[in-house]
Amino acid sequence: PVDRLPKIQEARLKLPVLAEEQVIMEAVRENPCIVICGETGSGKTTQVPQFLYEAGYGSGRGIIGITEPRRVAAVSMSHRVAKEMNLSTRVVSYQIRYEGNVTSDTKIKFMTDGVLLKEIQKDFLLQRYSVIIIDEAHERSVYTDILIGLLSRIVPLRNKKGLPMKLLVMSATLRVEDFTENIKLFRTPPPVIKVDARQFPVTIHFNKRTPMDDYTGEVFQKICKIHRMLPPGGILVFLTGQAEVHNLCRKLRNAFPFRKGNTTTGEDADADTSEAMRKFKKAKQKKTVSLPRIDLDNYSALPMDEGDEDRDAGIGDEEYDGSDLEIGDDGTSTGEKADPSIPLYVLPLYSLLAPEQQAKVFRPPPPGTRLCVVATNVAETSLTIPSIKYVVDCGRVKKRFYDRVTGVSSFKVTWTSQASANQRAGRAGRTEPGHCYRLYSSAVFGDFSLFSEAEITRRPVEDLVLQMKDLNIDKVVNFPFPTAPSAEALVAAEQLLVSLGALTEPPRTGSVKEMEQARLSCPVTPLGRAMASFPVAPRCAKMLALGKQQDCLPYVIAVVAAMTVREIFEDLDRPAPSEDESSKLSQRRARLTQMRRLWAGQGASLLLGDLMVMLGAVGACEFAGCTPKFCEDNGLRYKAMVEIRRLRGQLTNAVNAVCSEVGVFVNPKMTPPTEHQVVCLRQIVLAGLGDHLARRAQGEDMLDPKLKNGYKTALLDDPVYIHPTSALFKTLPDFIVYQEIMETTKMYMRGVSAVEAEWIP
Ligand code: ADP
Ligand code: MG
């Protein structure tokens, strides 16, 4: 029996999903798998777990598990459900990549999809659970898709064993054919239950013209107009990224000041930064004569049948909105004058925002103010913000694009899909009729694709293939994907993993057909299992597995953590917001460049290149206590540095679980690597990034001006370049490895490190 507060009960009864409780529970009893569709805000995420709990699914044979593609949703929904049920967070809990509050009393567990995938690796039958809900399936995140594929097999297995388990797939859109009409996935199509949305009409206003460049400026103008001229009601704004969100919040707060107390975090008493830096750099490096060599066969492998309870998926936990990439700042002051008479309560909302900050959007705004939430597409479906009457939609979304063959990637702001735009508009009509302002014309809307593609078709899949092989799914091509990745992507992944030593080399004998088959079903090696246990991409995992040699592990962990977290440095290429700020900016640019040069060091250490800069930055930042001020002063993104700190802890645990004899720990006062160690580190980096080798153009090629400072790679016809901000921009070594190629104005390599010709296999 659940003892809800009367006020909560009253609010629940208004949710459309409540009307379907009987239907849903009957379908659950009679079918192993069901699909529930209902508009955002209809109550799926908060209510369905409660239905199951009240029907006894939480007690007895197992607990109720719910997966979310975003960390934000896992945390906030667990709190909400605990509150609605009047239960402690010991009972309704959450688990995300780095943290959780699950206890032995937990009955309802919200988690990210990556977390559940890791649990399947430890217990394929998921015996702790009596029911699994896959939420937000319409987002088609890679891990959601894989989980549905796996669960389509696990559920029948459980039933066969007499330990029945149920699967519920929940979607905010009606487009579920990929799940229901896919015979490979579910031989009997699961029933689909539709929840009628209690949606008030939303009037759509298209722009006559579509601003192509300054859409954030247009968004700002629109909000000002709504706020000045239209009746009360919250405003929800959709932008593409975190930097944009912050810029707009700042502009709005300047235009409509609202101050109550001081909301900024207190200034930490920070260590003397230059002192910290000097200490970090104060290297007493001994000269070594002969170059050490790393033994590529000397890696750490996982002890059989032992896993670290804490290990946890990482890759899938990343946010999907790409909101991390800083993009051009368009300044703070335009023609709008500060207007204190109309307070606007402006709140940002994006995935990486601290949970306390996120929680603010659910609370009523201070009396006499109007709420304005400036969000990335997190607010599109996962979270329902109360009392929104106006939606302002820029119509765009920031996404990462990969070239399937070359792996070249780029972040692009593109038009969103019609389905997404309609989801965004729908946010305006939850509590009363609303308005949606689309800052593009109806003709442009007509050209949008109907739906967004499943993520799995848009990115490399080596991490997934490794995870699946670790689950002993050798023939990944036969896996029941809701939408399968391309054959090319699967072949490329398998080849990379073989070259990293994570999969066994396929035999070179037999018929063409047999060899072809074998090439696509290589089993995992002990090294591959160890790599699969590290929550990072396979190339980085390989580096970790080799890291114990020459006491390099703490450095490898720090470098891998830095490589895994996106954009640790402030963008130095950013254009100045205005004329008079440009000299200030160029001064800052010069200083930060200087800083990076200091971190890169000289001589031997410089050859580790950009990875040395990362290592220096991480070391110096930790030494100074990882304060916001240190980061601000030194051009580091504070959020990224905090993330790196957590990831270092997590990787350290993971490495200790694989080879406990090294007993590595996170040392906040890590000294820089010796020259000797730097040479080892470069070889370890080559072992991980071996397929990302580039050679400086030479001979006749040099005569071609396009190729003068260019590099040749195996897969690209066109040259690629070292970025001017790279530590190795002036050195131009003959051979280098790179972390990735990003196409901006040119094809630039990022994360460049020099290698010696004689190391190359
Ligand atoms: P769905 O999953 O179908 O999109 P939810 O279960 O997330 O719907 O939301 C149902 C209702 O609960 C919404 O009206 C939303 O405003 C409300 N709600 C969700 N989380 C909170 C919260 N933290 N505080 C207050 N109301 C909330
Ligand atoms: Mg939901």
pLDDT digits (tens, 9 = 90+) for 488-507: 889 999 999 999 999 999 88
Which of 80, 89, 108 for mutating ligand 1's site (highest number of atoms within 8 Å of CB)?
80
Task: Please give the distance of CA 101 from its chain centroid, rounded to a whole number.
Answer: 21
Q: What's the average model confidence in pLDDT over 272-285?
A: 41
In the chain, the percentage of residues whose pLDDT exceeds 70 is: 87
**Residue type (1 letter), 158:** R
pLDDT at 268 (0 to 100): 30
Give 422-464 pLDDT, tens digit per residue: 989 988 988 889 999 999 999 999 999 988 888 888 888 999 9
Give 162-185 pLDDT, tens digit per residue: 999 999 999 988 788 889 988 899
> Residue 541 — very low, low, confident or very high, per pLDDT cuts 50/70/90?
very high
Mean pLDDT over the full length of the chain: 84
**Tokens standing for residue 355:** 């949970």
Q: Which residues contact 307 (CB under 8 A, 6 or more apart)?
A: 121, 122, 533, 657
Nearest ligand by distance to the CA of 40: 1
Range with the largest mean pLDDT of 58-72, 336-350, 672-686:
672-686
**Tokens standing for residue 619:** 């070391």
233 lines ligand 1 (CB under 6 A): no
Q: How many angstroms is it from 49 CA to the middle of ligand 2?
A: 11
Q: Say yes or no to pLDDT of 270 above 70.
A: no
**Calpha distance 660→600 (Å, rounded):** 31
pLDDT at 646 (0 to 100): 86
The residue whose CA is least distant from atom 23 of ligand 1 is: 80
38 lines ligand 1 (CB under 6 A): yes
**Calpha distance 524→121 (Å, rounded):** 14
More confident residue, 678 or 299: 678
DSSP 754: E
Q: Say yes or no to pLDDT of 338 above 90.
A: no
More confident residue, 50 or 271: 50
407 lines ligand 1 (CB under 6 A): no
Q: What's the average model confidence in pLDDT over 22-26?
A: 97
198 lines ligand 1 (CB under 6 A): no
44 lines ligand 1 (CB under 6 A): yes
**Calpha distance 608→673 (Å, rounded):** 11
> Residue 197 — very low, low, confident or very high, per pLDDT cuts 50/70/90?
confident
Q: What's the average model confidence in pLDDT over 145-167?
A: 95
173 lines ligand 1 (CB under 6 A): no
The residue whose CA is least distant from atom 15 of ligand 1 is: 384
**Calpha distance 391→380 (Å, rounded):** 11
Strands 33-38 and 192-195: parallel
Closest ligand 1 atom, residue 385 Cα = 16
Q: How many angstroms is it from 42 CA to the middle of ligand 2?
A: 8
80 lines ligand 1 (CB under 6 A): yes
Which of 20, 39, 44, 46 for mutating ligand 1's site (highest number of atoms within 8 Å of CB)?
46
33 lines ligand 1 (CB under 6 A): no
Nearest ligand by distance to the CA of 18: 1
pLDDT at 291 (0 to 100): 58
The residue whose CA is least distant from atom 17 of ligand 1 is: 384
pLDDT at 405 (0 to 100): 62
Q: How many angstroms is it from 75 CA to the middle of ligand 1?
A: 13
696 lines ligand 1 (CB under 6 A): no
Contact 248, 375 (CB under 8 A): no
pLDDT at 127 (0 to 100): 96
Q: How many angstroms is it from 260 CA to the middle of ligand 1?
A: 27
Dihedral pair phi/psi, residue 100, rounded to 5°: -175, 170
401 lines ligand 1 (CB under 6 A): no
Q: Which residues contact 233 (CB under 8 A, 6 or more apart)?
A: 370, 387, 388, 389, 390, 432, 434
386 lines ligand 1 (CB under 6 A): yes
Q: Which residues contact 16 (CB under 8 A, 6 or more apart)?
A: 38, 39, 42, 43, 195, 196, 197, 198
Give 220-266 pLDDT, tens digit per residue: 999 999 999 899 999 999 999 888 998 999 999 988 887 554 333 23
Would you call 206 helix, strand, or coil by DSSP? strand
**Calpha distance 415→439 (Å, rounded):** 11
Q: How many angstroms is it from 383 CA to the middle of ligand 1?
A: 7
Would you call 7 helix, strand, or coil by DSSP? helix
Closest ligand 1 atom, residue 195 Cα = 3
More confident residue, 406 or 657: 657
**Rama region for 444: left / alpha / beta (φ>0; ψ in -120 to 50; rest):** alpha
8 lines ligand 1 (CB under 6 A): no
The 3-class secondary structure across 392-421, one letter per residue, is EECCEEEEEEECCCCCCEEEEEEECCHHHH
CB neighbours of residue 473 within 10 Å: 18
Q: What's the average model confidence in pLDDT over 361-380?
A: 89
Q: How many angstroms is it from 197 CA to the middle of ligand 1?
A: 13
Closest ligand 1 atom, residue 382 Cα = 4
Distances (CA, A) of 197 to 16, 22, 173, 551: 6, 17, 11, 59
DSSP 21: H
> Sign of the CA dihedral 598, 604, 605, 607?
positive
Measuring CA to CA, which residue among 106, 102, 99 is closest to residue 85? 106
> ipTM beyond 0.95?
yes
pLDDT at 315 (0 to 100): 28
pLDDT at 302 (0 to 100): 54
DSSP 549: G
Token pair 């689909």 is at which residue?
192
pLDDT at 761 (0 to 100): 82
Give 51-104 pLDDT, tens digit per residue: 999 999 988 789 999 999 888 889 999 999 999 999 999 999 999 876 889 999
Q: Say yes or no to pLDDT of 151 above 90.
A: yes
40 lines ligand 1 (CB under 6 A): yes
The residue whose CA is least distant from atom 25 of ligand 1 is: 362
Which of 384, 423, 430, 431 for mutating ligand 1's site (highest number of atoms within 8 Å of CB)?
384
Q: Which residues contact 177 (CB under 8 A, 6 or more apart)?
A: none
pLDDT at 321 (0 to 100): 32
Distances (CA, A) of 151 to 64, 124, 134, 395, 742: 14, 10, 10, 35, 36
pLDDT at 519 (0 to 100): 77
pLDDT at 533 (0 to 100): 87
pLDDT at 340 (0 to 100): 54
Q: Which residues contact 164 (CB under 8 A, 6 or more apart)?
A: 32, 61, 130, 158
15 lines ligand 1 (CB under 6 A): yes
pLDDT at 51 (0 to 100): 97
Range with the largest mean pLDDT of 253-267, 371-385, 570-584:
371-385
pLDDT at 41 (0 to 100): 85
Flag whether the pTM goes above 0.80: no
pLDDT at 266 (0 to 100): 30
Range with the largest mean pLDDT of 1-10, 83-92, 517-526:
83-92
Dihedral pair phi/psi, residue 111, rounded to 5°: -150, 165
Would you call 19 helix, strand, or coil by DSSP? helix
Q: Which residues contact 405 (CB under 8 A, 6 or more apart)?
A: 488, 492, 715
384 lines ligand 1 (CB under 6 A): yes
DSSP E strand stretches across 47-165: 63-68, 92-95, 108-112, 129-134
**Calpha distance 88→370 (Å, rounded):** 33
Q: Say yes or no to pLDDT of 277 above 60.
A: no
Nearest ligand by distance to the CA of 385: 1
Strand order of the sheet with strand 753-754?
A: 711-713, 693-696, 735-737, 753-754
Q: How many angstroms is it from 382 CA to the middle of ligand 2?
A: 5
Dihedral pair phi/psi, residue 236, rounded to 5°: -120, 125
43 lines ligand 1 (CB under 6 A): yes
Closest ligand 1 atom, residue 381 Cα = 4
pLDDT at 155 (0 to 100): 97
User: Which of the residue ranges 23-32, 107-116, 447-456 would you say has the lowest mean pLDDT?
Assistant: 447-456
> Residue 288 — very low, low, confident or very high, per pLDDT cuts 50/70/90?
very low
> Sign of the CA dihedral 684, 689, 690, 693?
negative
More confident residue, 693 or 299: 693
Q: How many angstroms is it from 42 CA to the middle of ligand 1?
A: 8
363 lines ligand 1 (CB under 6 A): no
Would you call 510 helix, strand, or coil by DSSP? coil
In the chain, the percentage of residues whose pLDDT exceeds 90 is: 52
Q: Say yes or no to pLDDT of 406 above 90.
A: no
pLDDT at 575 (0 to 100): 64
Would you call 108 helix, strand, or coil by DSSP? strand
pLDDT at 399 (0 to 100): 83
Q: Say yes or no to pLDDT of 318 above 70.
A: no
Q: Say yes or no to pLDDT of 626 above 80.
A: yes
CB crowding 459-471: b at 16 or more within 10 Å, else e: bbbbbbbbbbbbb
Nearest ligand by distance to the CA of 37: 1
Q: Say yes or no to pLDDT of 275 above 80.
A: no
467 lines ligand 1 (CB under 6 A): no
Contact 375, 234 (CB under 8 A): no
